[in-house]
């Protein structure tokens, strides 16, 4: 995870050859993103997520694709042909139990960093539940915004897109988002989740300046952050 662009393209060719009108994605987040990448070619799409990341992915409107040439994650659908209006059906296991070690902190990080006025209320409501469940993932997904349609891009999403491929390639995106919460809001960490630090997850020695180089090249942050000088970062 995430899905590589070159792995998704053969699916588009298969549809064109067979004329299929429906597609079903079952399993991980990669399966969900594969279907979303090709969804506009089909009349009906069905998503059956089986992991925490897959549930979250099934409720976002964009696929996360790995661009191996630019060494970054892209969330755009600009290369996806728009041919019809697609009906998407999400099939969930009502008994789904969140199993990833850092689901709660990952969702917490997304909501806490959202500029939406409703995110705080959603977070307060979710924190009243002892264990993360489907509601955590379903209610967090709308705040994972990719910056299109005049939306403000989600900070955790922006940072993961620019930093995971070059620096945190072996880190699950949920763990990365959870580690962001540890770095920014250590007082809000959850006792039932032992979240590693970003420094311990990195594949190389890190400095703020080096991380900012990746972020600037990806244009992932707000202009005021991108334009910050090294002295200001220090």
Tell me the mean pLDDT in the region 199-205: 78
Tell whether the model's pLDDT for residue 14 goes beyond 90: no
User: How is residue 81 written in tokens?
Assistant: 């042909």
Taking residues 11-27, report their average pLDDT.
Answer: 84
Q: What is the pLDDT of residue 230?
A: 47
- What does the block give as tokens for 22? 């429906």
Q: What are 61-79's pLDDT values in tens digits?
A: 888 888 888 888 888 654 4
Q: How does the average pLDDT of the chain come out, rounded?
A: 80
Mean pLDDT of the region 107-126: 92
Report pLDDT for 79: 44
Which of 48-62, 88-102, 144-158 bottoms out in mean pLDDT, i.e. has the lowest?
A: 144-158
Give residue 224's pLDDT band: very low, low, confident or very high (50, 70, 90). very low
Over residues 25-43, the pLDDT tens digits come to 999 998 898 888 888 888 8
Torsion sign across C-alpha atoms 179, 181, 183, 186? negative
For residue 109, name the pLDDT band (cuts at 50, 70, 90): very high
pLDDT of 173 > 80? The answer is yes
pLDDT band (50, 70, 90) for residue 119: very high
* 162's tokens: 């620019």
Task: Band the pLDDT of 222: cuts 50, 70, 90.
Answer: very low
pTM: 0.80
Place of tokens 């942050």: 221
From 100, 159, 104, 168, select the one nearest 136 (Cα to Cα). 104
Q: Please give the average per-residue pLDDT across 112-117, as a whole number.
A: 89
* pLDDT number for residue 219: 56
Flag whether pLDDT at 111 surpasses 80: yes
């Amino acid at each position: 995870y995430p899905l590589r662009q070159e792995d998704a393209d053969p699916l588009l060719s298969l549809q064109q050859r067979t004329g299929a009108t429906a597609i079903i994605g079952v399993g991980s987040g990669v399966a969900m993103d594969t279907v979303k990448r090709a969804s506009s070619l089909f009349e009906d799409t069905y998503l059956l997520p089986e992991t925490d990341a897959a549930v979250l992915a099934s409720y976002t409107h964009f696929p996360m694709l790995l661009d191996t040439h630019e060494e970054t994650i892209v969330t755009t659908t600009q290369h996806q042909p728009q041919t019809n209006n697609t009906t998407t059906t999400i099939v969930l296991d009502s008994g789904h139990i969140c199993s990833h070690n850092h689901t709660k902190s990952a969702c917490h990080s997304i909501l806490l960093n959202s500029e939406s006025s409703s995110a705080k209320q959603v977070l307060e409501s979710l924190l009243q539940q002892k264990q993360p469940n489907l509601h955590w993932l379903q209610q967090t997904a709308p705040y994972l915004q990719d910056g299109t349609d005049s939306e403000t891009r989600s900070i955790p999403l922006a940072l993961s897109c620019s930093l995971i491929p070059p620096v945190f390639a072996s880190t699950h995106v949920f763990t990365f988002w959870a580690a962001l919460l540890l770095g920014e809001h250590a007082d809000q960490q959850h006792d039932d989740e032992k979240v590693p630090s970003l420094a311990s997850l990195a594949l190389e020695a890190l400095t703020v300046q080096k991380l900012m180089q990746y972020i600037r090249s990806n244009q992932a942050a707000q202009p005021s952050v991108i334009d910050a000088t090294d002295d200001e970062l220090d």
